[in-house]
Amino acid sequence: MTNPATTSLLDRANLDRDAVRREVSRGLEGADDGELFLEFGQTEALVFDNGRLKQATYDTSQGFGLRAVKDDAVGYAHSSDVSIPALIRAADAVAAVRGGYAGTFAAAPAHTNVRLYGDENPLDGPAFEAKVKLLGEIDAYVRDKDPRVRQVSASLTATWQVVEILRPDGESYRDIRPLVRVNISVVAGQGDRQESGSKGYGGREGYARFIETKAWRDAADGALREALVNLESVPARPERWTWC
């Protein structure tokens, strides 16, 4: 299987580039602006709640969107089927928005050549078993910190998105967007009262920096501290107004 990090999404879908450009040009002929937008994405989420793994999901998705702008009208067609027949139908749909209108196609945006993120796919990082073990460690750590802890929920989520934009003038743009998120929530209680606190952090890179012991312990401490502050809080005294 081709690697989306190093391979065009057109090639990954085994699409003939000339046929793609022909249909994009046909659909956007006479429009003021528009483009073909392709996307490939992977997502995973693990949720550990009350001492056990409660949820584990994984999803892969792909698709395209074709947009045509005519004056103040916009035609848009999309499909999860990345194929020439689907693109032909999309081109037919967006071409209908022209209605005889003939515009001057906008100039392509300039390339910045600035890469904000790396190609690393977070989902290729730690094994599933290692992630589950980490969530269990977070749960045990928080519960050992204070006997008033009644519930702990910890989650790891990661997405990896590749987007590619193709314009009828031949210009193309590509971006890779990794994202990792760690969330920890705590419920602390005393008697009939209980309060909650939460902390989350993440960023657009792989798992490594976010699952270090210090990182998740800082977040766990913050979530617990918030829950305990809420638990120990007292209602504010009502203000007394003096009328003159």
pLDDT of residue 71: 75
Mean pLDDT of all residues in 47-59: 95
Whether pTM > 0.85 for this model: the answer is: no
Average pLDDT score over residue span 34-45: 95
Q: What is the pLDDT of residue 1?
A: 47
Instruction: Choose between 76 and 142: higher pLDDT.
Output: 142
For the cut 70, the answer to whether the pLDDT of residue 232 exceeds it is: yes
- For residues 233-238, average pLDDT: 80
Domain boundaries, the chain: 9-232
The whole-number pLDDT of residue 176 equals: 92
HEC string of the chain?
CCCCCCCCHHHHCCCCHHHHHHHHHHHHCCCCEEEEEEEEEEEEEEEEECCEEEEEEEEEEEEEEEEEEECCEEEEEEECCCCHHHHHHHHHHHHCCCCCCCCCCCCCCCCCCCCCCCCCCHHHCCCHHHHHHHHHHHHHHHHHHCCCEEEEEEEEEEEEEEEEEECCCCCEEEEEEEEEEEEEEEEEEECCEEEEEEEEEEECCCCHHHCCHHHHHHHHHHHHHHHHHHHHCCCCCCCCCCCC
Between 10-24, 112-126, 176-190, the lowest mean confidence (pLDDT) is in 112-126
Among the ranges given (42-46, 95-99, 101-105, 118-122), the one the predictor scored with the smallest mean pLDDT: 101-105
pLDDT at 101 over 60: no
Which CATH code is given to the segment(s) 9-232?
Answer: 3.30.2290.10
* pLDDT of amino acid 161: 95
The mean predicted confidence, pLDDT, of the chain is: 89
